[in-house]
Each structure stands twice: as C-alpha cells, then as structure tokens.
A and B are shown apart, each in its own frame.
Chain A
Amino acid sequence: MQGRGIRWSLAVVGLTFAVASELIQIAHGARPERSMIDLAVGLTYLLGGLSAWGRQPANRTWKLMTGVGLAWFIGNLAASDVPLISAAGTVLADTDAILLVALVLAYPEGRVEGLADRVIVAFAAAGLTGANVVFLVTGVAAPALLLGLIVTGAVGIRIPIRWYQAPRARRRALGPPLLAVLVTIAAVAVAIVARLLGVGEDAASALLSARDIGVLAIPIGFVVGSFQLVEDELIASRARIVAAADEARRRLERDLHDGAQQRFVAVSVALRIVRSRLGPGIDPRVAEGLDAATNELRAGIADLRELARGLHPAVLTDEGLAGALPALADRSTVPTRIVGMPDCRLPAPVEATAYFVVSEALTNAGRHSRATEASLRARIANGVLRVDVADDGIGGADISAGTGLAGLVDRVEALGGDLRVVSPPGGGTLVSATIPLAGTGDLEVVG
C-alpha cells in the first residue's frame, strides 16, 4: 500500500515536472516535435519503470528506470529564465545518463556489482557533473561531450564482457536488453561525435531525436529480457518442485522400509518360528489360524512393498534406470522387450521422470491396449534422454483422456522435456519422452 502511494505520487510529480520542463523548452524556441519525442522517451522510462516496480518491488532495476525517467527532464530546465533553475538544469543535465549507465550495468539484479562497473558509474557521475559545471562557468561544451563519449565507450565495452561472463542460463535473458543498449550506445556516440564536429542546427536536432528513439530501445529490451528471466525462473522453480517432491517420496519409501516393513517382516519370521516349534502334532484349528495369519501378513507385506515401490522404488535410487526399467518390464503384464538402456546414472529428477513415464505407459498397455508385445528403449543423445515405449495393441490412446500420462506431461515439461503419444486406431501406441539431462541449469548432474 505504502509502495503504491509512493509510485502514484512519483507518477503525478513526474508527469507535471515533465510537461512543465518541455513547456519551458518550447517557450524558449525548442521545436515542438523535438519536445514531443523528448517527452515520450522520458515518460516511457518513468511510467514503464513505475509499472514494473509495482510488479517486482524487490528488484531495484525498476527504481533505477523510474529515476532515469524523472532525471530525463532535468536538462530541459537549463532553458529557464530563473538563473538558479537554469544553473541546476545545466549542471544536473546528465543525471539521466548517469542513472542510465547504472541501470544498464545493474541489470538484471538491480545492483552494480564488481569494481569495474562501480568505477564506471562513479566516473560517469563525477565526470559528467563536473564537466557540466565547467560548461556552466566557461561555456565550453567539449569536456562534457568528450566525457560522455568515454563513458559511452566504457559501457559499450563492458556490455559484451558482462554477457560473455554470464552463466549460460542467464544469457538468454541478458541478450535483448544488451542488444538494445549497444544500439543506443552507437546512436549516442554518433550524436556526440556529430556535435563535437559541429554539424548544423537541423542535423543536430535530427541526431538528438535519433538518439532519443535509440534510448527508447533500452526499456523495450529490458521488458523482453525480463519476460525471459521470469520464464527461466519459472522453469527452474518447477524443476525444483519436482525434485523436492521426489525427495519427499524417496524419504517416505525409506521410512516405510525402515519402519512398518521391517516390523511386518519380523512378525512373519516370528510366526514361522512359533509354527515350527509347535511341531507337526498341533491342533488343526491352531495350525489353520496360524497359516491364515501368515498368509494375511504375506499379503500385507506385498501390499506395503507395492506401495513403497509406487512412491519411489529403492532400485531406482540405488541403481538408476539400468536397474529400475528392466524391473518394470519384468512386472509388466504385456511381455516387454528391452531394446536399449543407458548404463550410466543420470540426474535424479530425470531418472525418476523417465521411470514414471515408462511405468505409466506399460500400465496403460496392460490395461487398455490388448497388446501382445511391447518394447522399451532408453537412450541418450546430445545431452537428452529419450525413452520410447511401443506396443502392438489397438491404439487410440489419448494423452488428454484422463490417463496417468496427462499428469506426467507437466512433470516432463517441468524438466524442459516433451512427452508425446502416437496412437492411431489399430496402429499400436508409442509413448515418447525426451528429457534434457541438464536443461534447467539449476539441477546438478549426479555422478
């Protein structure tokens, strides 16, 4: 609520300030179309920044963007008739550029990290403001323009380095805004060089407009990059949720084994000891009762094992797909041939996902397909695990028709993979899952 109040106030104050500053410019002979472009660019930063700030209050990137939007109009004050306002406008004219440098170097975390980037921001702040003081006092613009060129060049060099140093997963999100920044830097550099060389008034005005429109590319790049960032984080968080759920199931399986299962087994052994100690000459009713209890217990142990296996089979934890998939094939009611099997261990979420896909596919084949034979193939190519389960049944299976496979689509996609079912009527069913081994970046590759 409080943040919202601040943002609304900034929007109102910023808008008023922006319009007022442009009116001062126009009153002193600026071309209205130049002022309109100037207004549009500044307001894009101001309102875009405020809007993004509301969505991601923790990310300082958007506060910096809002700051650029507010500072954008300070330079217009230099045209004012009031000497103090004019002087302030002149000295602080490049505050927007300083904040823009900070914004570009702080993206996407919203913090300027590292010595090189901090030096650039500090140099830009001190140098550009100092040069504007020089301009105010002496009327010589060259130092400010030269410094502008140096800062522009420094940022232009840092951008590709930052992109290169970013983790691979980050590069996708960094690309669009950094490209926009490079385009802008080129436009700004051309505008500065043109002014240093002293082109005519018309050309200078046109170049300024070109620069401003170039500056507009930056927030657009940030927005595109942020979408990418949010998407990447969403994918990574889905993968983490899958991994956490697997871990919880694995722990449950272990607890079942260490607890109830051990006790049931102990009771079963105890019953058999009692039975053998009683010898052959016991009352048949006692023998019958003992046998019934033993059988019931055996069924209970079998149920418990099936439950544990359904949670997260121990063989998957200990031996990976090479142990777990053949076990599935053995239990399948449709005779299943194994065509290929990777013998290395894969990241745990990948193994578990592949296992559950095969388990569901074989269960469906047994229940609905009337297949006489199935084949199972798992292989790794180009960092992707591909699992195929094919049967020779009646086909017509539909992934969206409430089968367990529908639930597995989310799971496979959470790992950046893909699950497909090809099942023409009368043509058998093929269930194919492709799962990248390290597609989500945040997952560690195990052994």
Chain B
Amino acid sequence: MGRELVAAVDHPSGTTMLIVDDSEAFRMQARAMLEGEGFAIVAEAADAAGGLAAWLTSRPQVALVDVNLPDGDGFALAAALEGHAGAPVVVLTSSREAGAYRLRLERTRAAGFIPKDELSGPAIRALIARPA
C-alpha cells in the first residue's frame, strides 16, 4: 500500500532515503551516487538501533540497509521498521550476493535486495515500483 505513496510524494530534491551501514566509506559512496540519481539522503546510521532511531526522527520513504550490521542484521531492522505506520520501503544490500541470504530473503518483508556492486538509482526504483 505504502509503496504507491513513495512514487507520488517526493522530496523537493528526490525520494527521501535513510542509509544504514557500518562502513562510513560505503555510506559516503552511496550518498554520492544516489544523490546524483534523484534521491535525497536525509539520514545515515551505522547500526540497526541507530537506523531505527534515525528513521523515527526523519521518516524517509526508503531505507537502504546493509545486511551485516554490528548489532544485528538488516533483516531484523527491516522487521522492526515494518511494524511502524508509514513504514519505509526497505532495500537490503551487501557486498555478498543474494544467494548468501537465500532463506532470509525468501522470508523478509523488505522490498528486495541489491548487491552493493549493482547498486544504482534505477535498481532501487525498480524495487520500489515492484508490487510488494
């Protein structure tokens, strides 16, 4: 349901996004790439707890979440976010391929998974547009 909303209500500078990843280098790279492709990175966090807090503060439309977080995994964060009204579209990412998380990807309610080396604005938009 919320998915339609994302496409309709956009930030002045693009779709709002939260990035959760314990690597600062990756957060900077993702920001640099995605800000050039129509996303507004309104918050960043380095772990799952910080990610949830950051989302509750700024309520971005999309959360780009690394699977391996220091205090749990991206699947747990996706589940935690899912419980909130106006929950974001969660896009999981990792430098591992999708096959490494097979069962958990089957069971998660996150919108999908994109390996870091294939991460791009269009790839994220394709996931957002896909019916949940």
Q: Could you tell me which A residues sit within 8 Å of B by CB distance?
A: 257, 261-262, 264-266, 268-270, 272-273, 276-277, 297-298, 301, 305, 309, 313-315, 318-319, 322-324, 326-327, 330-331
Q: In the complex where A261-B95, A262-B95, A277-B36 touch, is A270 in contact with B29 (Cβ < 8 A)? A: yes
Q: Which segment, of B2-10, B51-59, B82-90, B101-109, faces chain A?
A: B101-109
Q: Are A314 and B100 in contact (CB under 8 A)?
A: yes
Question: What 8 A-B pairs come out closest when comparing CB atoms?
Answer: A314-B100, A323-B103, A268-B117, A265-B95, A323-B102, A265-B117, A265-B116, A319-B103
B79 within 8 A of A: no
B residues in contact with A266, CB < 8 Å: 25-26, 29
- How many residue pairs between the two chains, A and B, have CB atoms under 8 Å in the bound complex? 67
Q: Are A315 and B100 in contact (CB under 8 A)?
A: yes
Q: Are A269 and B36 in contact (CB under 8 A)?
A: no
B119 within 8 A of A: yes
Q: CA separation between A277 and B102, bound complex, in Å?
A: 34
B42 within 8 A of A: no
Q: CA separation between A262 and B97, bound complex, in Å?
A: 12
Q: CA separation between A277 and B37, bound complex, in Å?
A: 10
B12 within 8 A of A: no
Q: Is the interface of A mostly helix, strand, loop or mixed?
A: helix
Q: CA separation between A266 and B101, bound complex, in Å?
A: 20
B residues in contact with A318, CB < 8 Å: 100-101, 104
Sample 25 A-B pairs with CB under 8 A, ordered by A number.
Answer: A257-B95, A265-B95, A265-B116, A265-B117, A266-B25, A266-B26, A269-B33, A269-B119, A273-B29, A273-B36, A276-B33, A305-B96, A305-B97, A309-B99, A313-B99, A313-B100, A315-B102, A315-B103, A318-B104, A319-B104, A322-B103, A324-B102, A327-B102, A330-B99, A331-B99
Q: Are B99 and A315 in contact (CB under 8 A)?
A: yes
Q: Could you tell me which B residues sit within 8 Å of A by CB distance?
A: 23, 25-26, 29-30, 32-33, 36-37, 95-97, 99-104, 115-117, 119-120
Q: Are B120 and A272 in contact (CB under 8 A)?
A: yes
Q: In the complex where A265-B117, A268-B117 touch, is A273 in contact with B33 (Cβ < 8 A)? A: yes
Q: Are A269 and B29 in contact (CB under 8 A)?
A: yes
Q: Are B29 and A257 in contact (CB under 8 A)?
A: no
Q: In the complex where A269-B117, A298-B117, A301-B117 touch, is A327 in contact with B99 (Cβ < 8 A)? A: yes
Q: Are B36 and A276 in contact (CB under 8 A)?
A: yes
Q: CA separation between A243 and B96, bound complex, in Å?
A: 24
Q: CA separation between A257 and B67, bound complex, in Å?
A: 13
Q: CA separation between A261 and B119, bound complex, in Å?
A: 15
Q: CA separation between A257 and B36, bound complex, in Å?
A: 28
| Nearest opposing residue in chain A for B25, CB measure | A266
A residues in contact with B116, CB < 8 Å: 265, 268-269
| Nearest opposing residue in chain B for A326, CB measure | B102
10 additional A-B residue pairs with CB within 8 Å, beyond A268-B116, A314-B96:
A266-B25, A269-B26, A269-B29, A269-B30, A273-B32, A276-B33, A305-B96, A315-B100, A319-B102, A323-B102
| Nearest opposing residue in chain B for A316, CB measure | B100
A residues in contact with B32, CB < 8 Å: 273
| Nearest opposing residue in chain B for A267, CB measure | B117
A17 to chain B, nearest CB (A): 72
Q: Are A272 and B33 in contact (CB under 8 A)?
A: yes
Q: Are B117 and A264 in contact (CB under 8 A)?
A: yes
Q: CA separation between A305 and B117, bound complex, in Å?
A: 12
Q: Are A315 and B33 in contact (CB under 8 A)?
A: no
B residues in contact with A268, CB < 8 Å: 116-117
| Nearest opposing residue in chain B for A269, CB measure | B29
| Nearest opposing residue in chain A for B105, CB measure | A323
A residues in contact with B33, CB < 8 Å: 269, 272-273, 276
B117 to chain A, nearest CB (A): 4
B122 to chain A, nearest CB (A): 11
B47 to chain A, nearest CB (A): 17
B residues in contact with A322, CB < 8 Å: 103
Q: CA separation between A251 and B33, bound complex, in Å?
A: 32
B residues in contact with A262, CB < 8 Å: 23, 95
Q: CA separation between A40 and B37, bound complex, in Å?
A: 94
Q: CA separation between A249 and B72, bound complex, in Å?
A: 24
| Nearest opposing residue in chain B for A327, CB measure | B99
B88 to chain A, nearest CB (A): 22
B residues in contact with A326, CB < 8 Å: 102
A residues in contact with B103, CB < 8 Å: 315, 319, 322-323
